[in-house]
Amino acid sequence: MDLLFLGTSAGMPSKLRNVTGLALIEDQGKGWYLVDCGEATQHQLLHTPLSMHGLKAIFITHIHGDHCYGLPGLLASAAMQGRTEPLTIVAPRGVHEWLEATRGLVELYTPYGLDYIVTDSLDELVIDDMHITAHALEHRVPSWAYRFSQHAPKSLDKDKLEADGIPRGPIWGLLQQGLDAELDGRPVLAEQYRIERFPPTVMVIGGDNARPELLAAACHNAHVLVHEATYTTEVSARVGEEYGHSDALRVARFAEQVGLPNLILTHFSARYKPAGYPSPSMDDIRQEAEAVYSGQLFLAEDFARFRVGPDGSLHRV
């Protein structure tokens, strides 16, 4: 599974960073998921290998423009590119209504179906081997994190098969495919003989959020957390809590407390210049997080791509 950042700026685009968008890309095939869709996400995609035909679902964390204003254009372009597969959109209340208003008032045309799921009502969404849940955050408007848990293919539990006296042959073949079989008139259930040899790969992708600790449960066994760090503590104290954002220290402390192995910070205020420039710069964000976090830390950049290995390790590719 790869994470490809399409936008890493807070509020407004800058020359170097677009507003929020993140692609989760499957190892095999062309399937991918989009989390948030700020304006010009479709433009960013032009510079990636991703196609609108491979997009399996869109997840919106909250209704602020820098996280969803790219939806109408992206959906329209998917239509012009010939998409016919229905598309699932998981989003807080308001997004569905806005897209339908857009359709009615300014001619959004989507010949493919749109399946809307309101985030508030999401229990668990399963798409192929991906299990997705939503976790409430704290922001000026309802905001959510999405937890993506990718399950590895199951394989036969040969020890148990042999212990139970199930002979090798056609029965093993059926069970391997997940199909139930029969032996001497007794049912042999696939689910009892197939096991996950590897734990699922778990990635938690947060929306705007002032309280990282709300993600404690979601981050259980997670390999990666992607979280906003709009400010450093100094700026955070100056602008006050009214904007509902996190600073780098707050997120890093949380990640350390729950023992997260990998943390990717994103959604930076445009006041932070690139690393190497005089303060305020990305160096300030990094130093603040590194001071309290002992895991692997990355600061996201547009088009930075990270790979989560089958062992849950993370590296930039």
Identify which of residues 55 and 161 has a Cβ nearer to a copy of itself in the complex: 55
What distance separates the 2 farthest-apart alpha carbons in the chain? 77
Which residues within the stretch 250-289 sit at the binding site for a copy of itself (CB under 8 A)? none
Identify which of residues 44 and 150 has a Cβ nearer to a copy of itself in the complex: 44
Query: Which range touches a copy of itself (CB under 8 A), out of 41-49, 126-134, 295-303, 306-314?
Result: 41-49
240 binds a copy of itself (CB under 8 A): no
Is the sign of the CA dihedral 316, 129, 149, 44 positive or negative?
A: positive
Instruction: Quote the CA–CA distance of 78 and 110 in Å, as a whole number.
Output: 8
Instruction: Quote the CA–CA distance of 63 and 208 in Å, as a whole number.
Output: 10
Residue in 28, 29, 105, 187 binding a copy of itself, rule: CB under 8 A: 105
Residue in 23, 55, 57, 72 binding a copy of itself, rule: CB under 8 A: 72
267 is in an annotated binding site: yes
Instruction: Quote the CA–CA distance of 219 and 205 in Å, as a whole number.
Output: 10
Q: How far is the CB of 225 from a copy of itself (least distance, A)?
A: 26
284 is catalytic: no
- CA terminus-to-terminus distance, the chain: 12
Residues in the chain: 317
Strands of 95-253, DSSP E: 114-118, 125-127, 130-136, 144-150, 155-156, 181-183, 186-188, 194-195, 201-205, 224-228
Q: Which residues are annotated as a binding site for Zn(2+)?
A: 62, 64, 66-67, 139, 208, 267
Binding site for a copy of itself (CB under 8 A): 11-15, 18-19, 39-40, 42-43, 46-47, 63-66, 68-70, 72-73, 76-77, 80-81, 94-95, 97-98, 101-102, 105-108, 141
Kindly list the catalytic residues. 66
